[in-house]
Amino acid sequence: MPTGVFTRSVGMRLAIVGTAHLQARDLDRGLELGNRSVDILARVQSTRATDYVREFNTALAPWCREPAVREFVRRTREELRVAA
């Protein structure tokens, strides 16, 4: 299995678990996992992976005014070209 496939699946899993933390109202852990996801997914090209990050960004809506959330969304736009 090529390294990029493994890398992509780890990044996607981090985004999925991060989204679950956000849904459980755990912003800090969610953002931690989201940032780890972006660190990994910035190295691969995958529409499916960016869809998971887009879902993560949607789950951030309750905290949209938080500086850390705005920085994360900015980062996903720049590094992954993910629209909010």
Residue 57, domain extent: 3-80
Please report where in the chains the tokens 């789950």 appear, as a residue. Answer: 59
pLDDT tens digits for range 36-77: 999 999 999 899 999 999 999 999 999 999 999 999 999 999
The DSSP secondary-structure symbol of 44 reads S
Q: Can you give the pTM of this predicted structure?
A: 0.91
Inter-residue contact 37 to 11 (CB < 8 Å): yes
Supply 31's token pair.
Answer: 């953002």
Q: Distance between CA 69 and CA 64 in Å, rounded?
A: 6
Count of structural domains, the chain? 1
Inter-residue contact 34 to 15 (CB < 8 Å): yes
Q: How many CA atoms lie within 13 A of 27 on its CB side?
A: 13
